[in-house]
Amino acid sequence: MDLQLTGKHVLVTGGSRGIGLACAREFLREGARVSLVGRTPAHVDAAVAQLHSEGHAVHGHCADLGDAASALAMVDAAQAKSGAIDVLVNSAGAARRTPFGELRPEDWQDAMQAKFFTYINVMDPVIKRMGARGSGAIVNVIGMGGKVASPIHLAGGAANAALMLATAGLAAAYGPFGVRVNAVNPALTLTDRMAQGIAADARLRQVSEEEVLRDAQARMPLGRLATPEDIARAVVFLSSQGAAYISGAIISMDGAAVPMVV
């Protein structure tokens, strides 16, 4: 299938590691022009160097996306360097996983800053510009914590749920302007960030991290945890003309671990 992504400018937040980096690589393979965004210069530089070594041209940008002004400056810089943004993939930011007994009010605030506003601060300027041009696609990588309440991810799950509502609402609002907005909700995915969740669950259950990981894998009907590439392939499809009539969709990617009708 020709996904018609050749030459499209794709902005990937959280693009220096994990799912974001896997998304960047998949878009580059489809012939897109990619701008990566990360918070840590060393991580961004390493990702850009890695992709360059694989034969890809890519631009890296550093920004604190929890700050609206910083996010806007990054969007302006990416657009000035690579042209109007055709596709936005939000994969930056994650709320710290914390056993429920350790939660404090400020942890809930931190979760919204870390996950919700890092997405909203980028989406706001980008979707308005897409709407003015009459085209664009946004995919938010959110997480199953907003669908299924976990005792180690209540604050982050609340932020995820808010992002799902924002995704569906913006899809309805901007559909008439030619902009599609979708989301994918990965469950545990084999990234560096997963280790934090494993550690929190181990503290809650008072077992080893190795036991938590074995149990997580055993619960998966497909017999394994997701890889970043699994998530990236779905993101690329939703961004493409192959998904031209999909908008406002919230797609669970948990390997059928939680059977549900949505």
257 falls within a domain: no
Contact 29, 35 (CB under 8 A): no
Q: DSSP string spanning 90-116?
A: E----PPP--GGG--HHHHHHHIIIII
What is the edge-to-edge ordering of all strands in the sheet holding 136-141?
Answer: 58-62, 33-38, 9-13, 87-90, 136-141, 179-186, 250-253
pLDDT by residue (tens digit) across 116-144?
Answer: 999 999 999 999 999 999 999 999 999 98
256 falls within a domain: no
259 falls within a domain: no
Q: CATH number of the domain at 169, please.
A: 3.40.50.720
pLDDT by residue (tens digit) across 30-44?
Answer: 999 999 999 999 999
Instruction: Report the alpha-carbon distance of residue 122 to residue 118 in Å, rounded.
Output: 7
119 falls within a domain: yes
Q: What is the mean pLDDT of the chain?
A: 92
83 falls within a domain: yes
pLDDT by residue (tens digit) across 57-101?
Answer: 999 999 999 999 999 999 999 999 999 999 999 999 777 778 788
**Which conformational region is residue 48 in: left (phi greater than 0), alpha (psi within -120 to 50 degrees), or beta?**
alpha
4 falls within a domain: no
CA 234-253-111 angle, to 5 degrees, is 105
77 falls within a domain: yes
pLDDT by residue (tens digit) across 233-254?
Answer: 999 999 999 999 999 999 999 8
261 falls within a domain: no
What's the number of domains the chain is made of? 1
Domain residues for the domain of 123 are 9-251
